[in-house]
Amino acid sequence: MKQSANNPPLPFDFIFIGLGAANCLLLLRLHDNGLLTGKTIAIIEPDSKTANDRTFCFWATEDDVLNLHLKPLVSNSWDCAEIGSIAKQQINPLRYFHVKGIDLYNQTKNILGLNNVTFFTSILKENPEIKSTYYEVRLANEILYGYKVFDSRPPIFLPPQKNQSHLYQSFYGLKVKLATKKFDTSVMVLMDFNVSQSNFTQFVYVLPFTEDTALIELTRFGTEKLTQHEATPILNEYINRLGVSFDILEEERGVIPMSSSTIKIEDFGTNWINMGARANMIKCSTGYAFHAMAEDALTQMEAIKNNELPKRKHRGHRFAFYDRLLLKILDESPEYGKVIFETLFKKVPIVKVLRFLGEKTSLSEEVIIFSKLPKRIFITSAAKDILQQISTLPVIALPFLFTIITLFLSLINLQYISWGILGFGFLSVGLSHGALDHLTAKPIINKKQLVSFIIRYLFKAIILGLVWIFYADLALLLFITYSAWHFGQADFKEWNLKQGWQSLCWGIIALMIILFFHFEELNLILLQIPNLEFVNTLKRLSGNQILVLRIFLITGGLLLAAINKSKHILFTLTYLLLCSMLPLLVSFGIYFVGQHSLHGWRHLSLGLNEPSSQLWLKSIPFSIGGALIIIYFLLLSSSNYVGIFFIILSCLSIPHVFSMHHFYSKLKL
């Protein structure tokens, strides 16, 4: 209602934005339960809803239809479905139901006429303003106020990720009357692919209402919408196969989004409720939504009746996965659409396919269904999807998952797989993220500057090498200190935590957990380092002292997590403790490659504003150089290669730490 200068706003009890199927069904359920009585209602809908502009179809059991209170709306139903010339089968206990759009609109208008309703034909001008207990909704020429709003505007989809697709189900249909009786009124044609595909997935859909009257519709799944100009000759050819003349009674056209992209939803509070397609009620792989909307109408009604927040049931993750796979195939390889659907219905009973598409099957049934489909294209699509899903996980999830996988592989004596993955990771990311230090320094514009940079870089490494030769214990202390500083700096930068003494403490804790939870292996490695006296000190530590040290490290980590309220620290502590059941080098490799190096790589990509592929190419010369240095020194030492590896790694690390410290001082994430 409008706000006057002297009177406060008088909010509507309910505002319905749009009078599509979702809001119509909800209004019917609210009326059936007396929840509109005495309420003030605003309907925002520019369309008069006087035409039979669409049909709504769904499959369900007779009991479902009764429980969802849809029986009065149903105009036709069929208990037999046909897939072109492939299959004609009974679908009991299911039936395929048809609802005329005009019947739904008229029933809704009838109940609105019995209540205190105000209609507004304009559209929303901008987002609502949230007041203390109500909403301010701005239309083109007026302002409304409402306590509870049901928003069924079309959804806005975010740009699709690499494993997502945005297609359209577009259709153009004719309701025809034949000169003679030709239709079997007990059978509807769900999909007939015996039409031109036009580089998309296209099929004809037939609903026979009488023996001489039917809706015959051409449907396209694709990135481009079907036009009347494209559909008319295909439909005429299809209908002419019946061999009789016909008259056109009605036309029907529409477009339904088939998108696995995320719907953009702005949170306006618990009393602003998205409905229909905006609430993700459309199954993106089929375009069907009416049954889901009818179920949701009951959910919303019960919530209002009990003065509770609605509890929408969430879709199973595996069905969303299946939908993404199919849409990606239809998007990238539309020529497979006909093959996939025809194979599916040829090898699996139609009723089971309908239950699968309605997300009513078990995992074992789904495995059997997928085993009947073209395997290569689905396996390829699934692999791409899984890789994309992994790439979008937080970096912290990757070492955690790899730790679990490595523990499992160790149990079945396949740990060499983990070693291979870590080796590849060290060469591709571990070395490479340090091989970009020439890009983080002052701009290098000629060979002379490049040579100067390399000389300075190697000079720092050689200095530490000399310290290892003459003062091994000091070199070890330096290595641990600057490694801890560098590890803590990278982690805290990634987690947006304050740099300083806490990041240093965190680096020390992470590194010491790796080392002191592998105490015996640590001693064996240190024994391979020449002239190191510190190993004798470690040998004198008792079991109780080591236990106290471990407890101290865990407590320190938990304290840092509590101070910073950081779940990332807790996750890292968890997988590092699980790594105590793995060899020391594997444990260190998981943290160094799976967390530290990936953090550093992401930071370099952002800070240098270059994609990973370009950075990797630029790192190759220095990565090869680092690898050759390591290999050279390892070949010189056959007995204490692990100790030599750590010495060489420490020498190559110290100039890298200086470079990254300079880089991090300027980087803003």
User: Could you read off the pLDDT of 21-32 as tens digits, one per residue?
Assistant: 999 999 999 999
For residue 606, which phi and psi values (nearest 5 degrees)? -75, -45
Are 278 and 154 in contact by the 8 Å Cβ rule? The answer is yes
Please, what CATH class does the domain formed by 12-73+95-155+262-305 belong to? alpha beta
Q: Is residue 637 over pLDDT 70?
A: no
Q: Percent of the chain having pLDDT more than 90? A: 56
For residue 213, the surrounding DSSP H or E stretch is strand 213-222
In order of 165, 447, 517, 638, the CA distances from 541 in angstroms are 60, 52, 14, 29
Query: What's the first-to-final CA gap in the chain, in angstroms?
Result: 46
Nearest to 586 by CA among 429, 435, 409, 412: 409
Q: For residue 669, what pLDDT is reported?
A: 64
| Domain ranges (residues) in the chain | 12-73+95-155+262-305, 166-259, 317-392, 397-409+470-666
Q: Is residue 365 over pLDDT 90?
A: yes
Residues 643-658: what's their mean pLDDT? 81
Positive or negative, the CA dihedral 583, 588, 591, 597 is negative
Q: Give the distance from CA 598 to its chain's centroid.
A: 21
Q: The tokens 């702005």 sit on which residue?
A: 266
**CA contacts within 13 A on the Cβ side of 187:** 16
Please, what CATH class does the domain formed by 166-259 belong to? alpha beta
For residue 455, which phi and psi values (nearest 5 degrees)? -65, -45
**Bridge partners, residue 137, by sequence:** 144
Are 547 and 539 in contact by the 8 Å Cβ rule? The answer is no
Q: Is residue 259 over pLDDT 60?
A: yes
Residue 452's CB is within 10 A of a number of other CB atoms, namely: 12
Q: Is residue 5 over pLDDT 70?
A: no
**Residue 4 banded pLDDT, cuts 50, 70, 90:** very low
Identity at 61, one-letter amino acid code: T
Q: What is the pLDDT of residues 153-210, one digit of tens each?
A: 999 999 988 889 999 999 999 999 999 999 999 999 999 999 999 899 999 999 999 9
**Bridge partners, residue 135, by sequence:** 130, 146
* Burial of 258: CB neighbours in 10 Å, binned 0-12, 13-18, 19+: buried
Helical H segments across 358-500, by residue range: 363-371, 375-392, 397-411, 415-425, 431-434, 437-440, 447-470, 472-494
How far apart, in whole angstroms, are the C-alpha atoms of residue 187 and residue 208? 7
In order of 6, 79, 110, 444, 649, the CA distances from 185 in angstroms are 64, 10, 31, 79, 78
Q: Is residue 3 over pLDDT 50?
A: no
How far apart, in whole angstroms, are the C-alpha atoms of residue 169 and residue 176? 22
Q: Percent of the chain having pLDDT more than 70? A: 95
Length of the chain: 669
**Residue 34 banded pLDDT, cuts 50, 70, 90:** very high
Helix (H), strand (E), coil (C) string for 265-328: CCCCCCCEEECHHHHCCCCCCCCCCHHHHHHHHHHHHHHHHCCCCCCCCCCCHHHHHHHHHHHH
Q: For residue 100, what pLDDT is reported?
A: 93
Q: The tokens 């968890």 sit on which residue?
A: 574
DSSP type of residue 141: S
Who contacts 285 (Cβ-Cβ below 8 Å, separation ≥6)? 258, 322, 323, 326, 327, 357
Who contacts 537 (Cβ-Cβ below 8 Å, separation ≥6)? none
**Residue 547 banded pLDDT, cuts 50, 70, 90:** very high
How far apart, in whole angstroms, are the C-alpha atoms of residue 457 and residue 460? 6
Residues 612-616: what's their mean pLDDT? 78
Q: For residue 636, what pLDDT is reported?
A: 63
Question: Which has the minimum average pLDDT: 179-183, 466-470, 540-544, 617-621?
Answer: 617-621
Q: What is the pLDDT of residues 280-313, one digit of tens each?
A: 999 999 999 999 999 999 999 999 999 888 888 7
Q: Is residue 464 over pLDDT 80?
A: yes
How far apart, in whole angstroms, are the C-alpha atoms of residue 125 and residue 42? 16
Q: What is the pLDDT of residues 52-93, one digit of tens each?
A: 878 899 999 999 999 999 999 999 999 999 998 887 899 999
Q: For residue 638, what pLDDT is reported?
A: 57
Nearest to 502 by CA among 484, 515, 477, 528: 484
* Burial of 599: CB neighbours in 10 Å, binned 0-12, 13-18, 19+: buried
- Average pLDDT for the chain: 88
Q: For residue 118, what pLDDT is reported?
A: 92
Q: State which of 518-522, 627-631, 665-669 shows the largest mean pLDDT.
A: 518-522
pTM, 2 dp:
0.69
Identity at 153, one-letter amino acid code: R
Q: For residue 633, what pLDDT is reported?
A: 63
How far apart, in whole angstroms, are the C-alpha atoms of residue 501 and residue 506? 9
**Residue 535 banded pLDDT, cuts 50, 70, 90:** confident
Who contacts 471 (Cβ-Cβ below 8 Å, separation ≥6)? none
Quickly count helices (H) and strands (E) in the chain: 25, 17
How far apart, in whole angstroms, are the C-alpha atoms of residue 280 and residue 263? 7
Q: The tokens 């106290």 sit on which residue?
A: 548
Radius of gyration of the chain, Cα coordinates, nearest whole angstrom: 33
Who contacts 149 (Cβ-Cβ below 8 Å, separation ≥6)? 14, 15, 16, 17, 128, 135, 137, 268, 271, 272, 273
Q: What is the pLDDT of residues 489-503, one digit of tens each?
A: 999 998 989 888 999
Q: For residue 537, what pLDDT is reported?
A: 85
What the block records as the tokens of 391 is 């790439």
